[in-house]
Structure 1
Amino acid sequence: MNLDRSPPSDPSAAEPTPARVVPARRAEALRRWVPIRSLGPSDRGAIAQHLLALAEPDRYLRFGQALSDEQVLHYVEGIDFSRDELFGIVNRRLQLIATAHLAYAPGTERQGRTTMAEFGVSVLPQVRGRGYGERLFDHAVMHARNRGIATLYIHALSENGAMLHIARKAGATLEREGSESEAWLRLPPDTLATQFEELMETHAAEFDYRLKQQVQRVGDLIEVVGEVREQLLRQGGGSARQ
């Protein structure tokens, strides 16, 4: 996602192909289900930590330019959670290991509703190859469909093969111009099934997150108890020697 670039004003000119939302694809997604949480203002710190952990080449692929730490923090502070949607995958330590940004494009309104959104994603190097980018993409597609978005737009460097592969696999129309590529994916309308699926995934992901929080708190408590015990043993040993 290029921070200084506005999406094209006429997405229909690219004649995007419809998303290939087929039962087999959804069944496969369910088999490899990963809890994906919606992120909010309280998650800015985790988002910043995630993006700062990306090396310069990864930031270049994610944003179309190699952002400094200061620019990354400025980007995070500028996220408008009242307009855009962010999703994330966390590990057992509650570290944000993959995140996606679904930015609703201004100037694409129709009948009072925004009809196009731009998708951007980043995954930490140590967990790549597990399909997290594709899972976040599928989740964003479902989320966008349920909000009446007609077109999903992806702007990526042509060397970002992983992102372009995800878009191509979903049936997106790709256009390449020099070092940059654009992908357009026309989304079908939402259904009762997609609404229900998103509701269930949201509740399951939140339950998973709360469970991980409780496990971490118990672990922290055990660690504190262990430290206190060690201190008492050391003090007791010193008293005995005296």
Structure 2
Amino acid sequence: MTTVKPPPPPALDRFGLKSPKGSLPHPAEHAWVPIRDLHARHRRRILDHLLQLDERDRYLRFGSQVSHEQMAKYVASIDFKRDEVFGVFNRKLHLVAMAHLAAMPGKGPHGDSSRGRAMEFGVSVLPSARGKGLGMLLFKHAIMHARNQHASHLMIHALSENAPMLRIATKAGATVERDGPDAEAWLKLPPDTVGTHLDSSLQSLAAELIYRVKYRAMHVSDWVRLLVASA
């Protein structure tokens, strides 16, 4: 196993991370995007999103070839009382990006329970929504939520060939450990603050409000089109 350690991280921002000096962040990384909390009632939409991933994307997301049946079992197994799931919707209210923040109670790096509680991060972005920095925005969102859950570390398990995912992790200051085709990235998190809890609540409320406004606007547009067509 080889371990790749990043350079000393710079001062942390309100998410608990900051881009290293000299890097050129994606413009969207500092923009606000409504990220909506997902719940058990959204299982169908989560499954629809994942089924739109091709074989290569599924392989990178889950580390192996995943069939439709296995995908359905994965979605059915999500424990929304323990884990957190959130996503980004486009203008047509299609789920184009989603993240799963899964609890790993009592497990820090190398399975050392003395290192505190860890949470595992997984993300998927549809091809039509890539290149907009959504992966990093969901990662930052997950960091804030993991801190609020009193996690000491955020972990990403990925294939070594999954360069985009590992790039997000190392950019945040994570330590990447490689073991053949597999890699694990461990990011130590600062403790939660009043600010992280306030940010989380406000962002959730704003995202839900924006979604509902768009939902109603779409239905009004459909109703108007029906009236015009029947006139």
- TM-score of the two chains, using structure 1 as the length reference: 0.81
The number of residue pairs the alignment matches comes to 213
Deviations 1:78-136 (A, max 9, x none): 1111111101000111110000000001443999xx71100000000011010000000
| Secondary structure, aligned partner of 1:82 | coil
| Secondary structure, aligned partner of 1:190 | coil
C-alpha distance in structure 2 between counterparts of 1:68 and 1:20, whole Å: 43
Equivalent residue for 1:236? Answer: none
Determine if the alignment matches structure 1 residue 83 to structure 2 residue 82: yes
C-alpha distance in structure 2 between counterparts of 1:37 and 1:154, whole Å: 21
**One-letter identity of the residue aligned with 1:149:** A
For residue 31 of structure 1, report the CA deviation from its aligned partner. 3.8
Equivalent residue for 1:48? Answer: 47
Task: Say if 1:180 and 1:19 are closer, same or farther in 2 by CA, change over 3 A.
Answer: farther
Contact 2:150–2:191 under 8 Å retained in 1: yes
Task: Say if 1:22 and 1:44 are closer, same or farther in 2 by CA, change over 3 A.
Answer: same
Equivalent residue for 1:145? Answer: 147
For residue 29 of structure 1, report the CA deviation from its aligned partner. 7.3
C-alpha distance in structure 2 between counterparts of 1:161 and 1:75, whole Å: 24
C-alpha distance in structure 2 between counterparts of 1:146 and 1:227, whole Å: 51
Structure 1 residues not aligned, in runs of 5+ = 1-13, 230-242
Equivalent residue for 1:22? Answer: 13
Structure 2 residues not aligned, in runs of 5+ = 20-26
C-alpha distance in structure 2 between counterparts of 1:55 and 1:226, whole Å: 39
Contact 2:136–2:168 under 8 Å retained in 1: yes
For residue 227 of structure 1, report the CA deviation from its aligned partner. 3.5
| Aligned partner (choices 199, 202, 205) of residue 203 of structure 1 | 205
For residue 194 of structure 1, report the CA deviation from its aligned partner. 1.3
**One-letter identity of the residue aligned with 1:22:** D
Computed over aligned residues only, the root mean square deviation of the Cα atoms, in angstroms, reads 2.6
**One-letter identity of the residue aligned with 1:121:** V
Contact 1:18–1:172 under 8 Å retained in 2: no
For residue 18 of structure 1, report the CA deviation from its aligned partner. 7.5
| Secondary structure, aligned partner of 1:224 | helix
| Secondary structure, aligned partner of 1:51 | helix
The 5-angstrom pairing of residues 1-242 of structure 1 reads 21-22=12-13, 25=18, 31-108=30-107, 115-229=117-231
C-alpha distance in structure 1 between counterparts of 2:61 and 2:18, whole Å: 26
C-alpha distance in structure 2 between counterparts of 1:84 and 1:201, whole Å: 18
Contact 2:52–2:126 under 8 Å retained in 1: yes
Task: Say if 1:153 and 1:125 are closer, same or farther in 2 by CA, change over 3 A.
Answer: same
**One-letter identity of the residue aligned with 2:145:** H
| Secondary structure, aligned partner of 2:166 | helix
Task: Say if 1:194 and 1:39 are closer, same or farther in 2 by CA, change over 3 A.
Answer: same
| Secondary structure, aligned partner of 2:186 | strand
For residue 15 of structure 1, report the CA deviation from its aligned partner. 9.7
Of all paired residues, the percent bearing the same amino acid is 50
- TM-score of the two chains, using structure 2 as the length reference: 0.84
C-alpha distance in structure 2 between counterparts of 1:60 and 1:19, whole Å: 33
C-alpha distance in structure 2 between counterparts of 1:82 and 1:154, whole Å: 21
For residue 166 of structure 1, report the CA deviation from its aligned partner. 0.4
**One-letter identity of the residue aligned with 1:123:** V
| Secondary structure, aligned partner of 2:12 | coil
For residue 67 of structure 1, report the CA deviation from its aligned partner. 0.7
Contact 1:19–1:170 under 8 Å retained in 2: no
Task: Say if 1:20 and 1:90 are closer, same or farther in 2 by CA, change over 3 A.
Answer: farther
C-alpha distance in structure 2 between counterparts of 1:20 and 1:46, whole Å: 38
| Secondary structure, aligned partner of 1:202 | helix
Contact 1:116–1:153 under 8 Å retained in 2: yes
Which protein is bigger by CA-based radius of gyration? 1
